[in-house]
């Protein structure tokens, strides 16, 4: 990327750089464990990178082992499947789970149940696994689990709170997959999509001890005043749904390694921005909070840098939230971008991109959903020219409708990885 590239070209290249270092073909091979000397290799994968991770791992092990010693199942989001030779890849619902995810999770549990002490269960985990692996606790139907998911999505709860509740309503999350696979060796390789890279939060921690409790889950339900089905409320009061804790023997032969992190992607983008001639202002990879409130803070910072005549790139990651009050379409990245545009108020020399590194931000759960949106000094002027009122779209949580109306949606398609959200603001010196 040359120094005279347009701000939009630079922003898109920063996004692609961040995504590139988290591609399974790049980050997975150096971390794959040796094949089991005697038993089977059972590959269980879930999340938006599951198809690509399985494709890479399968190719690696088929060069070393007989095919009859390799089995497994992968579940990923619709549109994120990859061609594999032996291990089936199921495409399923996200963020709201569906029958396909239920079927895939049951097959993963059956395979885990068959694992013996000489087998290696290789779990390939990435963001989206919590929705893709759907195995409701006893007495909870898929429809009731879907209703619970929708209620939490509307609430504005952050990912750790969301997953705390989900873990206590599942037969696969919160360490239960490792419990089912015991006494086999379990090795988990994950691509982190959560602030802080906590293995207990990534994909709802199916292979690690769960430090949260049923009481924690009930507290979250009360705090957000979640209206949940009666069967779900009863399940959260049932001690049988408590998750395995640190020190449990089921984790004695379990290992966990994160192969790609949001911080890695931001560092790569930082180096790219520096090479393009920008001072880099790094806000970190762990930002959380309401999307529109964070956008207001970032707009103030960008305007300050502009006033100081600094040529800078503001980079941040983390997972923002949206408390739904309207009936529109969008996601946290698009809502952030819309609020940012409003607060920048057409300030010259400032452009931005906010996008989810998996290639989709909110939406209908389809692979052609937008990943995010661009903002530039002409955003509000162009919106006014076609009769769009930004504040009205923000109030209706309809950021997709706003940016679609001016042609500024960012739609790269599935990236086959997921290292949370990516936000970049470029400020040109006066």
The verdict on residue 2 lying in a domain is no
295 and 308 inside one domain: yes
Instruction: Please say if the pLDDT value at position 430 is more than 90.
Output: no
Phi/psi at 259 (nearest 5 deg)? -100, -15
How many Cβ atoms from other residues are within 10 Å of residue 387's Cβ?
Answer: 7
* Sign, Cα dihedral of 65, 67, 70, 76: positive
301 and 217 inside one domain: no
337 and 418 inside one domain: yes
74 and 191 inside one domain: yes
269 and 222 inside one domain: no
Separation between Cα atoms, residue 411 and residue 426, nearest integer Å: 20
The verdict on residue 276 lying in a domain is yes
Q: Which residue has the higher pLDDT, 289 or 2?
A: 289
Tally of domains in the chain: 2
The verdict on residue 24 lying in a domain is no
Instruction: Please say if the pLDDT value at position 2 is more than 50.
Output: no
Instruction: Please say if the pLDDT value at position 365 is more than 90.
Output: no
Separation between Cα atoms, residue 377 and residue 302, nearest integer Å: 12
Give the 3-state secondary structure of residue 389: coil
The verdict on residue 26 lying in a domain is no
Where a domain ends, among 242, 260, 278?
260
DSSP letter, residue 30: G
15 and 41 inside one domain: no
267 and 356 inside one domain: yes
Predicted local distance difference test score (pLDDT) of residue 1: 43
203 and 336 inside one domain: no
Least confident of 153-167, 246-260, 333-347, 387-401: 153-167
Where a domain ends, among 193, 228, 260?
260
Instruction: Please say if the pLDDT value at position 4 is more than 60.
Output: no
Confidence of residue 260 (pLDDT cuts 50, 70, 90): very high
Enclosing domain of residue 139 = 32-260
Produce one character per residue of 233-271: b if its CB has 16 or more CB atoms within 10 Å, e if not: eebbeeeebbbbeeebebbebbebebbbbbbbbbbbbbe
120 and 220 inside one domain: yes
**How confident is the model over 77-119, as pLDDT tens digits?**
999 999 999 999 999 999 999 999 999 999 999 999 999 999 9
**How confident is the model over 238-249, as pLDDT tens digits?**
999 999 999 999
Domain with residue 208: its CATH number is 3.40.50.10180
The verdict on residue 25 lying in a domain is no
Predicted local distance difference test score (pLDDT) of residue 3: 40
If you average pLDDT over every residue of the chain, what do you get?
A: 96
Confidence of residue 362 (pLDDT cuts 50, 70, 90): confident
The verdict on residue 196 lying in a domain is yes
159 and 280 inside one domain: no
Instruction: Please say if the pLDDT value at position 256 is more than 70.
Output: yes
Domain with residue 308: its CATH number is 3.40.1480.10
332 and 196 inside one domain: no
The verdict on residue 27 lying in a domain is no
Where a domain ends, among 222, 242, 260?
260
Helix axes 332-344, 291-307, angle to 10 degrees: 40
Instruction: Please say if the pLDDT value at position 426 is more than 80.
Output: yes
Q: Which residue has the higher pLDDT, 1 or 412?
A: 412
The verdict on residue 77 lying in a domain is yes
**Mean pLDDT calculated for residue range 60-78:** 97
68 and 143 inside one domain: yes
Confidence of residue 5 (pLDDT cuts 50, 70, 90): low
């Amino acid at each position: 990327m040359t120094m005279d590239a347009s701000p939009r070209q630079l922003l898109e290249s920063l996004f692609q750089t961040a995504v590139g270092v988290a591609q399974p073909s790049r980050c997975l091979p150096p971390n794959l464990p040796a094949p089991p000397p005697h038993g089977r290799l059972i590959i269980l994968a879930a999340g938006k990178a599951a198809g690509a991770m399985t494709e890479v791992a399968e190719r690696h092990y088929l060069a070393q082992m007989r095919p009859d010693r390799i089995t497994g199942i992968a579940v990923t989001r619709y549109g994120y499947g990859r061609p594999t030779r032996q291990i089936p890849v199921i495409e399923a619902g996200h963020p709201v789970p569906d029958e396909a995810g239920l079927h895939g999770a049951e097959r993963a549990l059956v395979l885990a149940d068959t694992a013996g002490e000489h087998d290696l269960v290789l779990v390939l985990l990435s963001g989206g696994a919590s929705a893709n692996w759907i195995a409701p606790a006893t007495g909870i139907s898929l429809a009731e689990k879907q209703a619970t998911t929708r209620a939490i999505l509307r609430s504005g709860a952050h990912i750790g709170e969301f997953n705390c509740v989900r873990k206590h309503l599942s037969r696969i999350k919160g360490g239960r997959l490792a419990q089912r696979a015991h006494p086999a060796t379990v090795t988990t390789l994950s691509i982190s999509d959560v602030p802080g890279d906590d293995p207990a939060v990534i994909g709802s921690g199916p292979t690690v001890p769960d430090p949260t409790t049923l009481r924690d889950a009930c507290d979250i339900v009360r705090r957000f005043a979640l209206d949940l089905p009666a069967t779900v409320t009863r399940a959260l009061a049932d001690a049988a749904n408590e998750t395995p804790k640190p020190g449990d023997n089921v984790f004695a032969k379990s290992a966990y390694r994160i192969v790609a992190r949001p911080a890695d992607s931001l560092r790569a983008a930082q180096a790219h921005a520096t090479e393009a001639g920008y001072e880099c202002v790094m806000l970190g990879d762990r930002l959380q909070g309401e999307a529109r409130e964070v956008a207001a803070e970032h707009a103030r910072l960008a305007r300050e840098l502009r006033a100081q005549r600094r040529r800078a790139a503001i980079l941040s990651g983390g997972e923002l939230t949206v408390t739904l009050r309207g009936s529109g379409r969008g996601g946290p990245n698009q809502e952030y971008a819309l609020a940012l545009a409003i607060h920048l108020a057409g300030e010259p020399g400032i452009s931005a991109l906010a996008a989810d590194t998996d290639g989709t931000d909110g939406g209908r759960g389809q692979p052609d959903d937008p990943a995010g949106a661009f903002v530039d000094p002409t955003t509000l002027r162009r919106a006014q020219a076609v009769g769009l009122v930004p504040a009205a779209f923000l109030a209706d949580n309809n950021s997709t409708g706003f940016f679609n109306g001016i042609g500024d949606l960012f739609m790269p398609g599935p990236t086959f990885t997921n290292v949370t959200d990516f936000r970049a603001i470029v400020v040109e010196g006066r």
